[in-house]
Amino acid sequence: MKKLISLLLVVTCLLAACSAYAETSKYDYSAIDESMPVNQPAEDVEDEGGEGTIEVAEGSVEPTGDAISVEGFIPDDADKVIIGSDDRITVTKPGQYPFSTIAYMEVTGKCGDQWVCTGFMVGKNCLLTAAHCMICPNHGEWAKKATFYFGFKSKSNCLYKYTGGWFGRAGTNFPNHKYDSEALSNDWCYLILDKNVGEKTGWLGFNCASDSQIRSHTYMVAGYRDYKLKYCWGGAEPCDSKVIGFTADDQPGNSGGPIFMTDNQAEAIIIAENEVRQINWGRRITPDIWSWMQKDGYK
């Protein structure tokens, strides 16, 4: 009985938070705690990151007609970890699949700001993250350089370090120069890397999940903060066609990390947290993102 009551309380919290998001996205931005740092600042970013360009996904792109469920890939020589179910676990072997697919990102913006984020491979050459991980919301400036560490323990101890070039496409360039609900609903970005990094790191599969599928799943969320990769579990509730709310722990630095299931299929991207409402938000992986990815050279 106690377990049932606890479950009902969690569901009620998710529904209330998502309802609040839906209302404030139309009328005001009080559901988003703008005092929270969008990115975790960094002070010791190396000046060797790869360079690239980013474009905003404007207009529409024709659906390809292909399946919108992509299978993940585990390299033949990769170690694979059996994922437990404890809350807020520090990953001790980040080089093991599926954690090997998750990148610790150090980014320098054209505005001069430096920050850290998380991203994850979803193909041979494609990395998904949040738009605010590659664009500074305060200035609307693109990233100038970015370095990606996979299987990160330290800068001298990681599975793979990528400092090559990339082309990116994002859902927004933060025209209001702040992180409001409009920015939140379009906070996605992918990078087409110059090398097939996924052949070394592996990649997660991904789904464009329906509302009923999201409600029925238990998700893992994973991201880097203070040089450590942590994960935990939680349920989720659709807020609208673009955003989900989830209760699993999340902090700055985790942004851009995957929200995925035990079958290593990602269904959303970590984008924001709100301590006041005790809810975190994810950007759903939607068919338009998949169509843009294929247009831009996904493989």
- Where do the structural domains in the chain lie, given as residue ranges? 2-295
- pTM recorded for the entire structure: 0.81
- pLDDT per residue, tens digit, the chain (299 aa), is 544 444 444 445 544 545 544 444 322 223 444 444 455 555 555 556 667 776 777 665 555 544 466 666 666 665 544 444 436 689 999 999 999 999 999 999 888 888 899 999 999 999 999 999 999 888 788 888 999 999 999 999 999 999 999 999 999 998 888 888 888 899 999 999 999 999 999 999 998 999 999 999 999 999 998 899 999 888 998 989 999 988 887 777 789 999 999 899 999 999 987 665 567 889 999 999 999 999 999 99
Instruction: Name the CATH code of domain 2-295 (choices 2.60.120.560, 2.40.10.120, 3.40.50.10860, 3.40.50.1000).
Output: 2.40.10.120
Q: Which of 9, 33, 11, 10 is nearest to 21 (CA)?
A: 33
Residue 56: its pLDDT value, please? 77
